[in-house]
Amino acid sequence: MTTQETIQLFDKYVIANYGRLPRVIVKGEGNYLFDADGNKILDMFPGWAVSGIGHCHPRVVEAIRKQAGELLHIDNTFYNEKQGILASMLSERGFGGKCFFCNSGAEANEAAMKLARKYTAEGKYKFITTEGSFHGRTYATVTATAQPKYHEGFLPMLPGFEYVPFNDVEALQRAFSDEVAAVMVEPIQGEGGINVATPEFMHTIRELCDAHGAAMILDEVQTGMGRTGKWFGYQHFDVEPDIISMAKALGGGMAIGGIMAKPEVAKALVPGTHASTFGGNPIACAAGIAVIEAIEQDNLLQNAVQMGEYAIEKIEALKQKHEIIDHVRSKGLMIGIQLTGPGAAIVDKCLEKGLRINCTQQTVLRFMPSMTVTRDQLDTALEILDTVLTEGSEE
């Protein structure tokens, strides 16, 4: 089937709720994609951060193959070995919490919010989230997402949500009351433009939650699983949340999400209070185990730190050359290049030259390469960006 034939098939039969790039991807390998026309694309935004250790990592592929020959699915009225192992591995690398598994980041955030309300005292129903956040597309999570553009056409949103500016300590203090069940924030806003939380903001959330009997939920859907150089984003802030949500890179390409909650919080979810039919299925959990093993055996946390520093050094050099680059925000391999103008055309031109990046908030170029990225690959990516910016300035 040709590229045009596939696109025509989509146009006729697939709901057009995505803005799709005009490529049909047929293969992924490491940090590269290959399309149906034989083009090779250097992928610096793999699967919207899902392929955190690259496309089709051999350890993940082998774990899936092996598990697929033994047990594809079993419902959660039984135990399955892989789910327990994955939960223990996450707990040991986190804060010693207990896990619940589902299929996506939105589902994970839904579970986190339900758990917070179930755990906290009766009468606590409010959630505080931050402007510029992104927590998912289900009704509760899109309500939690404090960006009006995601609410358009879906009003009224769910009651009980209040929004404060990100990193605004005084606004957070004013918004707090004994009716608050939880504060939910991203340690680093991804879709919001790679905005890094301040230590003061994170510690104030912890202090206010403790003072008012509320839960601190950290959305670690993008920051979890090592991309920032630590297993979880909260570990940069010397603060411990009550609940974190996870997804994206957790399954190395397999659909899996989850939460981790302190044991005293987790016990609020008893049989019948929450569930996910496919959550924690053996294949997704086998993939998650392989992801953790690959990260540790290949020292990918260290690589994320080193390659992140290297990329920033190169981008700062580009900033001296191109006025459109205002500044850079980053933590590990979560990198946002703040532009002085729109970035969509830059992303399109980079793709034409074989580089995939992303633009968010209209003016932020987002690089989130896999943790296996090399210096040579970063050099190639930033040389392409340099060329595109140079051509743009000459037009």
Residue 345: which CATH number?
Answer: 3.90.1150.10
| 72-81, long-range: CB < 8 A, 24+ apart | 72/281, 72/282, 72/283, 73/278, 73/281, 73/282, 73/283, 74/281, 74/282, 75/277, 76/275, 76/276, 76/277, 76/279, 76/280, 80/280, 80/281, 80/282, 80/285, 81/282
Claim to verify: residue 181 and residue 259 sit in the same structural domain: yes
pLDDT of residue 284: 98
What are 329's strand-pairing partners? Answer: 336
| Token pair for 252 | 């190395």
- From CA 202, how far away is CA 219, in angstroms rounded? 13
What is the C-alpha separation between 342 and 331, in angstroms, rounded? 23
Assigned domain for 62 exists = no
pLDDT at 156: 97
Alpha-carbon distance 40 to 35, whole Å?
A: 7
- Contact present, 88 and 254 (Cβ < 8 Å): no
pLDDT value, residue 394: 74
State the residue for tokens 């459109």: 324
DSSP structure string for 223-272: TTTTTTSSSSGGGGTT---SEEEE-GGGGBTB--EEEEE-HHHHTT--TT
Confidence check: pLDDT of 122 > 90: no
Same domain, 313 and 353: yes
Residues 80 and 223 in one domain: yes
CA distance 173 to 372: 41
- With 90 as the cut, is the pLDDT of residue 392 above it? no
What is the tens place of the pLDDT at every residue in 269-301?
A: 999 999 999 999 999 999 999 999 999 999 999
Whether residue 63 is contained in a domain is answered as no
Mean pLDDT, rounded, for 87-106: 98
Instruction: Give the number of other Cβ atoms within 10 Å of residue 9's Cβ.
Output: 11
Tokens of 145: 């997402």
Inter-residue contact 368 to 191 (CB < 8 Å): no
Domain-embedded: residue 26: yes
Query: What value does the mean pLDDT of the chain take?
Result: 97
Q: What is the pLDDT of residue 393?
A: 76
Examine residue 66 and state whether it is found in any structural domain, yes or no: no
pLDDT tens, 328-367? 999 999 999 999 999 999 999 999 999 999 999 999 999 9
First to last CA, the chain: 37
Q: What is each CA distance from 283 to 3, 63, 69, 105, in whole angstroms? A: 31, 8, 10, 18
**Last residue in a domain, options 245, 273, 298:** 298
Q: Annotated binding residues for pyridoxal 5'-phosphate, as ranges?
A: 105-106, 134, 219-222, 277
Distance CA 391, CA 395 (A): 6
Per DSSP, 146 falls in state B
Residues of the binding site for N(2)-acetyl-L-ornithine:
137, 276
Token pair 């390659």 is found at 307
Active site residues: 134, 219, 248
pLDDT the model gives residue 121 = 85
Tokens describing residue 38 = 């034989």
- If asked whether residues 257 and 378 sit together in one domain, one would say no
Residues 47 and 87 in one domain: no
What tokens were used for 237? 């802030």
Residues 165 and 293 in one domain: yes
At 302-336, the pLDDT tens digits run: 999 999 999 999 999 999 999 999 999 999 999 99
Q: Which structural domain range is residue 294 located in? A: 71-298
| DSSP 3-state of 186 | coil
Report the predicted TM-score, pTM, of the whole model to 2 decimal places: 0.96
Do residues 308 and 335 lie in contact, with contact meaning Cβ atoms separated by under 8 Å?
Answer: yes
Which whole number is the average pLDDT over 199-209? 98
- How many independent structural domains does the chain possess? 2
Q: Which residues are annotated as a binding site?
A: 105-106, 134, 137, 219-222, 276-277
pLDDT band of 215, cuts 50, 70, 90: very high
Determine, yes or no, domain membership for 270.
yes
Do 359 and 252 share a domain, yes or no?
Answer: no
- 371 inside domain: yes
Identify residue 44 by its one-letter amino acid code: M
Residues 6+ apart with CB under 8 A from 353: 384, 387, 388
Residues 216 and 235 in one domain: yes
The CATH number given to whatever domain includes residue 187 is: 3.40.640.10
- pLDDT single digits (tens) 361-378: 999 999 999 999 999 999
Q: What is the CA radius of gyration of the chain?
A: 21
Residue at which a domain ends, from 298, 323, 339: 298
How buried is 148 (Cβ within 10 angstroms: 0-12 exposed, 13-18 middle, 19+ buried)? Answer: exposed
Do 249 and 317 belong together in one domain? no
Work out the average pLDDT over 244-272: 97
C-alpha torsion angle, residues 196, 199, 205, 206 (rounded to 10): 130
pLDDT (tens digit per residue) in 33-79:
999 999 999 999 999 999 999 999 999 999 999 999 999 999 999 99
- H or E segment and range at residue 61: helix 58-68
